[in-house]
A = this chain, B = another copy of it.
């Protein structure tokens, strides 16, 4: 018997039928002898419906009132789920974020959880109740309703698991685990039994949309074991946990890719201190986030400077860069928004040499030209032409034999 926190996202509770299905899954876990706390999202479509109402009033609705509005979405789900459990003869209680004192800061629409008073939940668990908590929301120290931003229900679940010292935090979603890469691109992509927090963070930030990044960080920080499972099919899912001996067997865990990038280059910049800063400050001032950055020094006293931004920001960044180029007396500005980033992720890179070489050779063998390279301790990212994305990902998946489970 253990205390388990489960979380169901919007698609898992998108209809009354699906909510009844979640009730059945909770009862199964309860019957297995576990204490169950569950965090749920708004029914899919509901949050967008509420946002549309707000947008009819104002393009920039008041953030405090925006949170009052959108937090009703999860409140509807908790009530319906608790009803479904009660109908089946299982005692249950629903709670809004405020009711179980999920204390956050006052940063409306993107608040951070500071504390949870778990006493009320423990009382209910002792009475044999299934506790149903609204995800995505909390309250600040003044009693104002706050929300955690999109995907915040994952964070609620992890925070509940941390506060309650749960055995495991199970994130039910529409995929049955974390894969070596997107199965829509590589049909023989393999579900991973486990993955480390660090790898998951790299994969999440690189485009695998299985888990919300902040919830993974939170789980890592508070030692919460996370498991990703499917709401719609049985299976063990993927456990996200801490690095141990057994896991080191796998050198590479997965391949992430990101189609949303665009590349900008400023050529022939006088190579003097403060140039990089001047370029990036003007971009940052426009609230444009920069991802990869590369600087090459030429032999004529000038330097070339390349960076990537989100594709949506490409036009704005290009205009800024052309202005900066004039100020700096640079030779030329070039941009390319038909690129993708492909990243190889694995904690095994730390202790295994030759990974980069294998990676670059696999791409070269397919005639794929690498436009940029960037590395971290557990990741190697390359930028290539967009048309090579599928080919590149498949080539790397094959080269590292990711379709086969590593030897135990």
B-contacting residues of A (Cβ < 8 Å)? 16, 19-20, 50, 53-54, 56-58, 61-62, 64-66, 68-69, 71-72, 75-76, 78-80, 82-84, 86-87, 93-94, 96, 98-99, 143, 145
Top 7 closest pairs, chain A to chain B, by CB: A69-B79, A72-B72, A68-B79, A62-B86, A16-B56, A65-B82, A65-B79
For residue A59, which residue of chain B has the nearest CB? B87
Which B residues lie within 8 Å of A19 (CB)?
A: 57
CA distance A56 to B161 in the complex (A): 31
Which of B68, B78, B87 contacts A94, CB < 8 Å?
A: B68
Please measure, in the bound complex, the distance between the C-alpha atom of A96 and the C-alpha atom of B83, giving whole angstroms: 22
- Assess A80 versus B76: contact at CB under 8 Å? Given A20-B57, A57-B16, A143-B99: no
Whole-angstrom CA separation of A58 from B88 in the bound complex = 10
List chain B residues, Cβ under 8 A from A93: 64
How close is A92's CB to chain B, nearest CB, in angstroms? Answer: 8
Are A62 and B75 in contact, with the CB atoms below 8 A? Answer: no
Also in contact, A83 and B99, with CB within 8 A (given A68-B78, A72-B76): no
Instruction: State in angstroms the CA–CA spacing of A76 and B143 once bound together.
Output: 18
- What is the total number of copies of this protein in its complex? 2
Q: Is the pair B68, A82 in contact by a Cβ cutoff of 8 Å?
A: yes
| Residue contact A50 to B65, C-beta cutoff 8 Å | no
Q: Which residues of B contact A62 (CB under 8 A)?
A: 82-83, 86-87
> Would B98 and A83 count as touching, CB distance under 8 A?
no
Contact pick for A76, options B53, B79, B86, CB 8 Å: B53
Q: Is the CB of B53 within 8 A of A16?
A: yes
A-B contact pairs, 23 of them (CB 8 A): A16-B57, A50-B76, A53-B76, A53-B80, A54-B83, A57-B83, A62-B82, A62-B83, A62-B86, A62-B87, A64-B93, A64-B94, A65-B78, A65-B79, A65-B83, A68-B94, A69-B76, A69-B79, A72-B75, A72-B76, A75-B75, A98-B98, A99-B145
Q: In the bound complex, do residue B65 and residue A69 qualify as a contact, i.e. CB atoms below 8 Å apart? A: no
Determine the chain B residues whose CB is within 8 A of the CB of A94 once the complex forms: 64-65, 68
Residues B69 and A80 in contact, CB atoms below 8 Å apart: yes
With A20-B57, A99-B143 known, 15 other A-B pairs at CB within 8 A are A53-B76, A53-B80, A54-B80, A58-B83, A58-B84, A62-B87, A65-B78, A65-B82, A65-B83, A68-B75, A68-B94, A69-B79, A72-B75, A72-B76, A99-B145
Point out which of A19, A68, A145 has the most chain B C-beta atoms below 10 A from its C-beta.
A68
